[in-house]
Structure 1
Amino acid sequence: MLLANPAKAEQCSVSLSQDRLDYGRLHQGQLLVEQPGQAELALGKRTLNLNVVCAEPTTMALRFDSPGAGPEAFSLGLHGHFTISLTRPRLDGQAVELFQGRARTLEQGSRLLPGQTLVARQGGGPVRGRMFSAQVEIETYLPASAARVRDETSIDGRGRFELVPQP
């Protein structure tokens, strides 16, 4: 699964500790024994580190640009979906909270949803800084039918983190 290419936004660099997650070869017997009778097969949680470094203080508003699989997950094409959460957000070394950026009523949360922007906030308002970091937790799910393929099948999801300019 391709997660991100380093991106630039207004003198900022956005990077991940890895640009690709590889779940390796998964075998039908392994998946069905570990999760018998399930409609979805969970491939487990993977954790990466996200870093944003800017030359000037910037409002940290992030989104993950990738095709959605409904309102709460990102698509793996016909083969399933994945979710992304940001945990332990820090701006210039200080803990911050993440809120949905464009919601009428602010909702705190670390889960990134398709089309959603998370904004670092502290003390009730967006904060500006030069260095943002967070852990990225990715959970991947396949339909149980994905374990019944006859040949080797590649499952691929793509997307990238973007720093969204704020007024």
Structure 2
Amino acid sequence: MVVKLKTLGGALFFAALMTPVAQAQDCRLSLNQSTLDYGVIRHEAVLGTRLLHLSVLCTQPSAIALRFSGAGDAEGFRFGQQGRFRLTLKHAQVDGRAIDWSGAHLPGDSSVAPLPPGQVLVARAVGKRLIAQVEIEVDLPADALQVRNHVVLEGRGSFELVSPTVPLSR
């Protein structure tokens, strides 16, 4: 007899990294937490949207650009074998002022910025402190929950500070 257990454990792991160019600018990127644990996921579960808080602190006013590196494709970053997660930056401020983002893939409203695999977002302001909310949305197909044993789903990636290709004006 085969018993189907419809439970999965899920976690997303994030890290904050800086490229050597960003270190030369003397900036530091941080997140309020590096892991999101979805716990046991049952077949009727709705994973919903989760939020992280990202901040970048620089010793001198700097142009700030971000990238998230992780396994992914055009639909998002990988979460387990079949799932995907997507990142969106919202409510960004540089030195207390609301800002827009520039990037090749942005829709009309550049204050809400999706961060797909392989893309860089550049803050349209120069400053010492950037803060933003990172919205994480997970899509997991129903058939991914049809498992026989406990399965751990993971998504991994790193936020990186990168040097903008064109200096921004103040």
Greater share of strand residues, 1 or 2? 2
Structure 2 residue aligned with 1:71 = 74
Decide whether aligned partners of structure 1 residues 104 and 21 sit closer, same or farther in structure 2, where only a CA change above 3 A counts. closer
Of 39, 43, 47, 1:43 maps to 47
The structural deviation recorded for 1:105 is 9.3
For 2:33, the aligned partner's letter is Q
Within 5 Å, give how 1:1-167 maps onto structure 2.
1-5=12-16, 7=18, 9-10=22-23, 11-28=26-43, 30-31=44-45, 42-68=46-72, 70-100=73-103, 103=104, 108=110, 109-121=112-124, 127-167=125-165
> SS where residue 26 of structure 1 aligns?
strand
Aligned partners of 1:151, 1:105: CA distance in 2, in Å?
41
Q: Structure 1 segments of 4 or more deviating over 3 A?
A: 5-8, 104-107
Aligned partners of 1:143, 1:91: CA distance in 2, in Å?
37
> SS where residue 159 of structure 1 aligns?
strand
Aligned partners of 2:89, 2:106: CA distance in 1, in Å?
20
Is 1:82–1:140's contact at 8 Å kept on the other side of the alignment? yes
Q: Deviations over 1:100-144 (max 9, x none)?
A: 1xx3999634110111111111xxxxx211100000100111121
Unmatched segments (≥5 aa) in structure 1: 32-41, 122-126
Is 1:92–1:132's contact at 8 Å kept on the other side of the alignment? yes
Q: Deviations over 1:31-87 (max 9, x none)?
A: 3xxxxxxxxxx511001100000112111111111111x314111241310000000
TM-score (norm 2): 0.79
Is 1:7–1:15's contact at 8 Å kept on the other side of the alignment? no
Decide whether aligned partners of structure 1 residues 47 and 104 sit closer, same or farther in structure 2, where only a CA change above 3 A counts. closer
Aligned-CA RMSD value: 2.1
User: Alignment length, in residue pairs?
Assistant: 148
The structural deviation recorded for 1:26 is 1.3
The structural deviation recorded for 1:160 is 1.0
For 1:131, the aligned partner's letter is R
Decide whether aligned partners of structure 1 residues 154 and 160 sit closer, same or farther in structure 2, where only a CA change above 3 A counts. same
Unmatched segments (≥5 aa) in structure 2: 1-11, 166-170
> SS where residue 150 of structure 2 aligns?
coil
